[in-house]
């Protein structure tokens, strides 16, 4: 490989290419994505999905989808189904059927028995608090458990009775016998099994002891003969234990590699904290479009292509870093610019009466669907005497370089005519309620012979033909940039403007038949999509992202 090509590879690609050149694993590449089914996946998991599936696909390998379902009290089939849907929506397919750590419960139990027989595991009767108090700290060694030197026979008997359900939750645990003075705290006789009399989402009441994550994870990799076990950086201190179990059991030597997890500005990336927001009804659910879950991003209008591009753009690093959420916004904006149909929607309406336009007349105007896609064609938009424009497109006393409407000023209506503001009407409170304008009949878009040139173009909708909708404007979940800097009081930093609801906006009539999964650009306003709350009688649209990074601009001010 040329040196330039090698430099363009991330460190995991370099490892895989070196392994392939060395003939390691017989030239086979098998990765895995191993989520715990205790919540919905978020954008950080999307990075891991793209990395595991993308790496295997690039080098002709495969990826297993395995659910590490070892904690029955927090796991649900709902989460399993959502995870499968998310992986597929992102554009990936796993090898064969999905797998589960629970598939291997009997095998894992036998592995534990084997370690007991080798004198490398023992049953401990102490409470969790007592065990924790004996662990020591990185500067001081821990203390041996008083049960550490039970005989192999006694440990085998007690472990079998744990499985048989003789003991209450917390009465006993199985621990690996390693080194209570080890500099790595995870190697100080870690727990392997605990008692939990709780039904499992797949195995029901068949088991009342469950393996700890650190014990189940590496052995499941080994059972599946995973060649490259890719984890986030916080698991690097777990790797010695991962390797210790595999070595002592003499099983397939899967190897763990770590990459930096995704940390995103203004975003909660802890599944526990996201669950807290759901349980406390701070948000409407896991798919609330303010959440960073994949299902929420999908509901908000993000595309799988934009998320894959985002994951590719931020790269794969060995050190943790903080990525600006604006990069994610940029990626979806870039993707939707190419594919979203342009439509007209007035969010804050101001009535305009075109006084010299014939009453009762309706014209059908041809308006382009997307100037970035020449094959997208045109659509028909009706035009009539009374229209709505955005209130911000009129100023009673226009500032310098204001190229929209004001007394005596002219502007082009998108796809229609040039109009001039002749007068306006105010209510008793001094609010402008109506503009009276005149149009230039010779200025129709596409056949303009008026010779008049105006600098501004604004969008509009015909009042007679408009449909109405609720529009939800979403923004950053947190006002705090780095959520990792705070603990459980993170809710103090929730953005009060993360959701603004406009109960009635006016849309061009083509949006009456909008479909979920179709993206639209509301001209000059941003990218929007139909929400799942929408009905034929009550349309609801979500703002995916604005046309510009207004948040970043405000923060820089």
Q: Measured between alpha carbons, how far is 108 from 215 in angstroms, rounded to an integer?
A: 8
Q: Is 270 annotated as a binding residue?
A: yes
Q: Is 410 annotated as a binding residue?
A: no
Q: Is 271 annotated as a binding residue?
A: yes
Cα→Cα distances 149→111, 120, 424, Å: 20, 10, 92
Q: Is 243 a catalytic residue?
A: no
- Looking at the DSSP bridge assignments, the partners of residue 299 are none
Q: Is 482 annotated as a binding residue?
A: no
Residues in the chain: 557
User: 148 with 177: CB under 8 angstroms?
Assistant: yes
Q: Is 70 annotated as a binding residue?
A: no
- Looking at the DSSP bridge assignments, the partners of residue 232 are 259
Q: Measured between alpha carbons, how far is 443 from 361 in angstroms, rounded to an integer?
A: 17
Q: Is 45 annotated as a binding residue?
A: yes
State how far Cα 112 lies from the chain centre: 37
User: 171 with 123: CB under 8 angstroms?
Assistant: no
Q: If residue 347 lies in a helix (H) or strand (E), which one and from where to where?
A: none
Cα→Cα distances 396→403, 405, 422, 433, Å: 13, 9, 12, 12
CA atoms within 13 Å, Cβ hemisphere of 467: 19
338: closest CA among 314, 380, 374?
374
Q: Is 36 annotated as a binding residue?
A: yes
Q: Is 102 annotated as a binding residue?
A: no
Angle in degrees, CA 116, 119, 120, rounded to 5: 75
User: Of the listed 36, 224, 258, 390, which one is catalytic?
Assistant: 36
Q: Is 109 annotated as a binding residue?
A: no
Q: Measured between alpha carbons, how far is 244 from 479 in angstroms, rounded to an integer?
A: 44
Q: Is 201 annotated as a binding residue?
A: no
Q: Is 42 annotated as a binding residue?
A: yes
Q: Is 515 a catalytic residue?
A: no
DSSP calls for 136-150: -BTTB-----TTTT-
Q: Measured between alpha carbons, how far is 311 from 264 in angstroms, rounded to an integer?
A: 12
Q: Is 37 annotated as a binding residue?
A: yes
User: Of the listed 150, 177, 261, 472, which one is catalytic?
Assistant: 261
Q: If residue 275 lies in a helix (H) or strand (E), which one and from where to where?
A: helix 271-279
Q: Measured between alpha carbons, how far is 262 from 55 in angstroms, rounded to an integer?
A: 17
Q: Is 261 annotated as a binding residue?
A: yes
Angle in degrees, CA 236, 242, 245, rounded to 5: 160
User: Of the listed 271, 290, 308, 420, which one is catalytic?
Assistant: 271
Contacts with 172 (C-beta within 8 Å, 6 or more apart), sequence order: 123, 124, 125, 158, 162, 195
Sign of CA dihedral 277, 479, 235, 176: negative
Q: Is 249 annotated as a binding residue?
A: no
User: 220 with 106: CB under 8 angstroms?
Assistant: no
Q: Is 82 annotated as a binding residue?
A: no
Q: Is 68 annotated as a binding residue?
A: yes
Q: Is 177 a catalytic residue?
A: no
Contacts with 531 (C-beta within 8 Å, 6 or more apart), sequence order: 289, 299, 472, 516, 540, 541, 542
Q: Is 233 annotated as a binding residue?
A: no
Q: Is 35 annotated as a binding residue?
A: no
Q: Measured between alpha carbons, how far is 267 from 269 in angstroms, rounded to an integer?
A: 6
Known binding positions: 36-38, 42-48, 68, 213, 232, 261-262, 269-271
Binding annotation for L-glutamine: 68, 213
Catalytic positions, written as ranges: 36, 261, 271
Known binding-site positions for ATP: 36-38, 42-48, 232, 261-262, 269-271
């Amino acid at each position: 490989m040329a040196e330039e090509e090698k430099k363009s590879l991330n460190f995991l690609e370099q490892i895989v290419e070196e392994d392939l050149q060395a003939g390691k694993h017989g030239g086979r590449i098998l990765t895995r994505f191993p989520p715990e089914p205790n919540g919905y996946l978020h954008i950080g998991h999307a990075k891991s999905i793209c990395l595991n599936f993308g790496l295997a696909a690039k080098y002709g390998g495969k990826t297993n989808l395995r659910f590490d379902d070892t904690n029955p009290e927090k796991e649900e089939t709902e989460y399993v189904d959502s995870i499968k849907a998310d992986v597929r929506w992102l554009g990936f397919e796993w090898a064969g059927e999905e797998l589960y750590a629970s598939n291997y419960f009997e095998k894992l139990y036998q592995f534990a028995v084997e370690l007991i027989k080798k004198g490398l595991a023992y049953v401990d009767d102490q409470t969790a608090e007592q065990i924790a108090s004996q662990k020591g700290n990185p500067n001081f060694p821990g203390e041996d458990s008083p049960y550490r030197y039970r005989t192999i026979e006694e440990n085998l008997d007690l472990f079998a009775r744990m499985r048989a359900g003789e003991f209450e939750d917390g009465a006993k645990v199985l621990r690996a016998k390693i080194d209570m003075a080890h500099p790595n705290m995870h190697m100080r006789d870690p727990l392997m099994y605990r008692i939990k009399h709780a039904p499992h989402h797949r195995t029901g009441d068949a088991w009342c002891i469950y393996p700890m994550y650190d014990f189940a994870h590496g052995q499941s990799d080994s059972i599946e003969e995973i060649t490259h076990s890719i984890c986030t950086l916080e698991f690097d201190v777990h790797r010695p234990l991962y390797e210790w179990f595999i070595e002592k059991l003499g099983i397939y030597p899967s190897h763990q590699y770590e990459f930096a997890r995704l940390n995103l500005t203004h975003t909660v990336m802890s599944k526990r904290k996201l669950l807290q927001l759901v349980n406390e009804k701070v948000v409407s659910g896991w798919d609330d479009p303010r959440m960073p879950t994949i299902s929420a991003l999908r509901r908000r209008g993000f595309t799988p292509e934009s998320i894959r591009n985002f994951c590719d753009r931020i790269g794969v690093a060995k050190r943790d870093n903080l990525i600006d959420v604006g990069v994610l916004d940029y990626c979806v904006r870039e993707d939707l610019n190419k594919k979203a149909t342009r439509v007209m929607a007035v969010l804050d309406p101001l009535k305009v009466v075109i006084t010299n336009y014939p009453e009762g007349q309706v014209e059908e105007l041809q308006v382009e669907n997307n100037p970035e896609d020449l094959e997208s064609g045109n659509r028909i938009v009706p035009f009539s005497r009374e229209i709505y424009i955005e209130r911000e497109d009129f100023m009673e006393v226009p500032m310098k370089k204001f190229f929209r409407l004001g007394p005596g000023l002219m502007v082009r209506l998108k796809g229609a005519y040039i109009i001039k503001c002749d007068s306006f009407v105010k209510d008793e409170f001094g609010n402008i309620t109506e503009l009276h304008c005149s149009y230039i009949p010779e200025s129709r878009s596409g056949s303009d012979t008026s010779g008049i040139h105006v600098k501004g173009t604004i969008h509009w909708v015909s009042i007679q033909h408009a449909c109405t909708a609720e529009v939800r404007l979403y923004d950053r979940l947190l006002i705090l940039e780095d959520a990792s800097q705070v603990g459980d009081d993170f809710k103090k930093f929730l953005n009060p403007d993360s959701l603004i609801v406009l109960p009635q906006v006016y849309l061009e009539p083509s949006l009456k038949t909008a479909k979920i999964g179709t993206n639209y650009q509301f001209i000059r306003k941003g990218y929007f999509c139909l929400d799942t709350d929408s009905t034929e009688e009550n349309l609801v649209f979500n703002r995916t992202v604005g046309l510009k990074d207004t948040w970043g601009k405000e923060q820089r001010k």
